[in-house]
Amino acid sequence: MSLQQDWDVIILGAGAAGLMCSATAGYQGLSVLVIDHAPKAAAKIRISGGGKCNFTNLDVTPKNYICRNPHFVKSALSRYPSSAFIELVDRHGLEYEERELGKLFCAHRASDLIQILRTECDWAGAQFSLKNAVERVTYRDQRYQVLTSQGRFSAKQLVVATGARSFPKLKASGFGYELAEQFGLRVLPQRPGLVPLNFSGKWQQRCAELSGISLDVAISAGSMRFAEAMLFTHQGISGPAVLQASNYWQEGEAIAVELLPTVDVLAELKKLRQGAGSLAKWLHGFWPKRFVNFWLALYPLQSEPANCNDAQLEAYARLLTHWELYPSQTGGYEKAEVTLGGVDTDEVSSKTFEAKKQPGLYFIGEVLDVTGQLGGFNFQWAWASAVACGIALGENR
């Protein structure tokens, strides 16, 4: 079927935000065309959350987001809270499960959620043009002209929902930033987020030897602390605590690992001293043998606790509660779940997501300088920003 040329709204990007926005705009009677260069919509939803998509969180607050203007996210998140998205998936009978820290995942497959979004888009009458590369966008006579590999389309309103740089193998691109710059909008520098941290030299070798071991730790980076699991890999460290910390880590800085975050380490070491207990035996109560052996080889206590003075035990407790590691770099965009930075939120309205300098041009989702923590917050931002924008498209028709 060949598509008409002129539309009320063109949405670039058929990802989480693009799908949600097209349904919202379509329900308001607008003709909507969604263009994506990927062969299938919503590739990131499909693989997210280990194939089960952590699609929202029961406890979403502005504090779960990193943005140069911390107030920017408030309006959209309060107008479309996670309960609104849960209501939507409930209406479609999606089966889902709650995991730790309020995370909601599909009970079966992430594709069940994609099906719901595609159904909403169909009901709203939105049309799709996939495997279609956008070559050029111009603005003429108060309309956006979009030249693509499948022809020329035009619309009064253009929504940029092309996401960010993470996972280029899923067709992620920096297209949205280029488009923003083309229209004179400021774009903040980007870097990978929610990403494993790698080491070089002997620390990389040590991590490789420990690879596969997971420990329950708390990691501090900057002023943030995350108590979750840490996993050793062949290149360095990963796991939820590390991904979370990576959003706040800057190259050259240390991260501090609390290896026994639920234990009063100094008090326990003193008890060991009193009872003439063995440090190795005590550590075996918490860690796998491979990690105990590694730890004691690298950080031996001069002698068993029974022979240590207070200062020695205090220094050892400090090591266990503040193990400083210096990653050399992140795993890069290939391994990053998100991208920090992006289109400066000062350039767009927090109510409508329309560019302040360019009428009819909107930016939603991850292309903006808004990054959520791990736990369903990034998808919730995609849904909330998309709905606010979709409503505004109707009002500005």
| Sites of contact with ligand FAD (CB under 6 A) | 12-18, 35-38, 43-44, 47-49, 53-54, 134, 161-163, 166-167, 171-173, 175, 337-338, 365-367, 376-379, 382
26/349 Cα distance (integer angstroms): 21
Other beta carbons less than 10 A from residue 74's beta carbon: 14
Q: What's the min distance (Å) between Cβ of 125 and ligand FAD? A: 20
Q: What's the min distance (Å) between Cβ of 162 and ligand FAD? A: 4
Place of tokens 């924008």: 389
Q: Residue 133 or residue 213: which is nearer to ligand FAD going by CB?
A: 133
Q: Residue 14 or residue 340: which is nearer to ligand FAD going by CB?
A: 14
Q: Residue 53 or residue 185: which is nearer to ligand FAD going by CB?
A: 53
Q: Which of 354, 343, 5 is nearest to 145 (CA)?
A: 5
Q: What's the min distance (Å) between Cβ of 58 and ligand FAD? A: 13
Q: What's the min distance (Å) between Cβ of 179 and ligand FAD? A: 9
The token pair at 294 is 């590694």
269/277 Cα distance (integer angstroms): 9
Q: Which residue is nearest to ligand FAD (CB)?
A: 15
Place of tokens 């499948």: 150
Which residue blocks in 228-288 are alpha helix, DSSP H? 240-246, 265-275, 279-284
Q: Residue 26 or residue 365: which is nearer to ligand FAD going by CB?
A: 365
Q: What's the min distance (Å) between Cβ of 77 and ligand FAD? A: 13
Q: Residue 166 or residue 220: which is nearer to ligand FAD going by CB?
A: 166
Q: Residue 169 or residue 202: which is nearer to ligand FAD going by CB?
A: 169
CA count, 13 A, side-chain hemisphere, 138? 6
CA angle 155, 159, 161 (to 5 degrees): 140
Q: What's the min distance (Å) between Cβ of 62 and ligand FAD? A: 16
Handedness of CA 324, 327, 333, 339 (dihedral sign): positive
150/131 Cα distance (integer angstroms): 9
